[in-house]
Amino acid sequence: MAPSVQSAIFDAVLPALPDGAAVLDPFVGSGITLDAARLRSLEFTGIDINPLAVLICAVKAGPLRCAEFLCSARSVGLAARFDSRVGLDHEFAGLEKWFRHDVATDLARLRRAILDVDDDATRDFLWVCIAETVRNVSNSRISTYKLHIRLPHELRRPLRVIDFFEAVAESFTEQLAEHASAPPDSGRDHYRMARLVCGDVRAADRTVLPPRSFNLVITSPPYGDNYTTVPYGQASYLPLHWIPASELARTTKSLHPTTAYETDKGSLGGSMKAPPGRPPPESEALAVTLQLLSGEPAKRIKRLRRFVEDLDHCLERIIEACVPGAVLVWTIGDRHVGGRPVPLRQIFSELAVSRGLSKKGAINRVLSPNRRMAPRNRHAPRMSSEDSLVFVMPTDR
C-alpha cells in the first residue's frame, strides 16, 4: 500500500466524517494506515494475524524515544562485542540449517544484551531491529517470502552481524524520528489512540471488533500472487525465533504468539477450514472464473475458492463492526491462477455490493515491475496494478 495513495484517501474521505474518524485496519501489516491515522491524530484499531507485524506497529505507535533507543542499541552492540560466551541459550528446529554458527553466536549475544535492557518500549524497538538483522543474515534468501536456502557462494559471504544490527537501529530511529516530529502530533511521542491486536479477523470477538464502532476502514487484505503458499508466516518465521515468546506476548496482548505454520494456516486462503453452514460468496465474476479454470488442477481451484470465502467472511465481520454511513477503502489487485487472470477487484466489488455496500469509486495505481519473485513462481504473470476501492455503508442499516 503506497503511503501517498493512503494520504490522498484520508484527505478525500475525512471531510465526509465531520465528527472525526474511528479507523480500523483489520490487516494492519507494517502499519501504513496506522502512520496516516497517527499523523491526523485519529482513533485507530489495527489487527494482524502475524505477531511480528503487531510488534512493528506497537513500536511505531510509541513512545518514540528515538535518541534513547539509538543509545540503547549502541550499548547492546557494545555488550554483545564484549560477550565471549559461545553458547546459544535457546534452540529451535532448523537453527543449524538457517544460521551459520558464527552468525547464530552473534545473534545470541545481541539477544542476551537486549534482555538486559530494563525499559519495555526500548526492548520492543530492539526486537524489531534484531528481526530485521535476522532476516538479512540468515541462510535464507531475502528476495522471496518463502524460505529458500541461498546459493553456496552466498552462504560463505562475510557477515558482520553486530555492525548490521547497529546500522538497522540507526536507520529505524531516523524513520521513527520523522514520525515523532510529524505534525499535528508534534510534541506527543505516544499514539495513545492506537489499539493493536494480534489475531485472525474472522475470530475477533466483540472486545476486538465491537459492533457499530468504526466509521472508516482502510485496508489491504492479503491477495498474494504466489500460488504455492500463503507466505505471511514464512516472512517472519526466522526473526520470530529470536524474540522470546514472553516478550512477544507482552506486545501482542490478547493472543499467544503463533508459529509460522499457524499464521499461514489462519491467513486468508490458508488451510483453516471455514465454519460449516456459511453461504457461498455471492459473486458472478467468481462463478465465471471458476468455470474458466475448470481445466486446472482441483487443488488450485479449491485454493482460490477458499481464499474468496475467507475474504467474504472477513468482510462480513468488518461490516458488523461499522456504523451506518461508514466508508470502507480496500486496496486490492487482480491475481493469476495457473497463468490465468482472476478478476479479484471485480469479485471483491460484487461481494461488497451483495453485503449492502455501495461503490463510490476507485483509485488505480500502476505497480513497479521490479518486484522480484522466486523462479518457481515466475510462470505466473505479475500483478501490474491495484485499485483502492471505495465503498459506503447505507445509512439506514
Ligand X SMILES: C[S@@+](CC[C@H](N)C(=O)[O-])C[C@H]1O[C@@H](n2cnc3c(N)ncnc32)[C@H](O)[C@@H]1O
The answer to whether 58 contacts ligand X (rule: CB under 6 A) is: no
The answer to whether 220 contacts ligand X (rule: CB under 6 A) is: yes
Q: Which residue has the cell 510509541?
A: 62
The answer to whether 30 contacts ligand X (rule: CB under 6 A) is: yes
Integer Cα distance of 235 and 147 in angstroms: 8
Strand 385-392, strand 322-333: pairing: antiparallel
Q: Percentage helix, strand, coil, to 5, in the chain?
A: 45, 15, 40
The answer to whether 309 contacts ligand X (rule: CB under 6 A) is: no
Burial of 375 (0-12, 13-18, 19+ CB in 10 A): exposed
Give min distance, CB of 396 to ligand X, in A.
29
Give min distance, CB of 88 to ligand X, in A.
28
Integer Cα distance of 235 and 229 in angstroms: 11
Residue 231 CA, distance from chain mean position: 11
Give min distance, CB of 235 to ligand X, in A.
8
Give min distance, CB of 28 to ligand X, in A.
6
> Is the Cβ–Cβ distance between 49 and 267 less than 8 Å?
yes
Give min distance, CB of 315 to ligand X, in A.
12
Integer Cα distance of 50 and 277 in angstroms: 27
Integer Cα distance of 29 and 39 in angstroms: 18
Q: Which residue number, 166 or 387, has a Cβ lying nearer to ligand X?
A: 387
> Is the Cβ–Cβ distance between 137 and 103 less than 8 Å?
yes
Give min distance, CB of 308 to ligand X, in A.
14
Q: Which residue number, 66 or 268, has a Cβ lying nearer to ligand X?
A: 268
Give min distance, CB of 358 to ligand X, in A.
24
Q: Which residue number, 169 or 218, has a Cβ lying nearer to ligand X?
A: 218
Give min distance, CB of 62 to ligand X, in A.
17
Q: Kindly indicate which of the ranges 216-224, 287-295, 298-306, 350-358 contains the residues binding ligand X, using the contact rule CB under 6 A.
A: 216-224
The answer to whether 31 contacts ligand X (rule: CB under 6 A) is: yes
359 vs 113, 129, 307, 328, CA distance in Å?
A: 52, 41, 22, 9
The DSSP annotation for 199-234 comes to S-GGG--TTTS-TT-EEEEEE-----S-TT--THHH
Instruction: Tell which one of 266, 304, 318, 319 touches ligand X (CB under 6 A).
Output: 266
The answer to whether 50 contacts ligand X (rule: CB under 6 A) is: yes
Instruction: Tell which one of 268, 311, 327, 380 touches ligand X (CB under 6 A).
Output: 268
Return the axis-axis angle of helices 51-61 and 32-39, rounded to nearest 10°.
Answer: 20
Q: Which residue number, 113 or 272, has a Cβ lying nearer to ligand X?
A: 272
Cα angle vertex 280, ends 279, 281, to 5°?
Answer: 115
Q: Which residue number, 200 or 247, has a Cβ lying nearer to ligand X?
A: 200
Q: How many residues bind ligand X (CB under 6 A)?
A: 21
Which residue has the closest beta carbon to ligand X?
29
Integer Cα distance of 357 and 392 in angstroms: 6
Instruction: Tell which one of 63, 222, 281, 333 touches ligand X (CB under 6 A).
Output: 222
Q: How many helices (H) and strands (E) does the chain have?
A: 15, 9
Integer Cα distance of 283 and 354 in angstroms: 8
Instruction: Tell which one of 36, 43, 45, 48 touches ligand X (CB under 6 A).
Output: 48
Residues numbered 181-210 forming contacts with ligand X, rule: CB under 6 A: 200-202
The answer to whether 9 contacts ligand X (rule: CB under 6 A) is: no
Q: Kindly indicate which of the ranges 156-164, 220-228, 300-308, 383-391 contains the residues binding ligand X, using the contact rule CB under 6 A.
A: 220-228
Instruction: Tell which one of 49, 121, 168, 169 touches ligand X (CB under 6 A).
Output: 49
Instruction: Tell which one of 13, 22, 24, 29 touches ligand X (CB under 6 A).
Output: 29
Residue ranges that bind ligand X, judged by CB under 6 A:
1, 27, 29-32, 47-50, 53, 200-202, 220-222, 232, 266-268
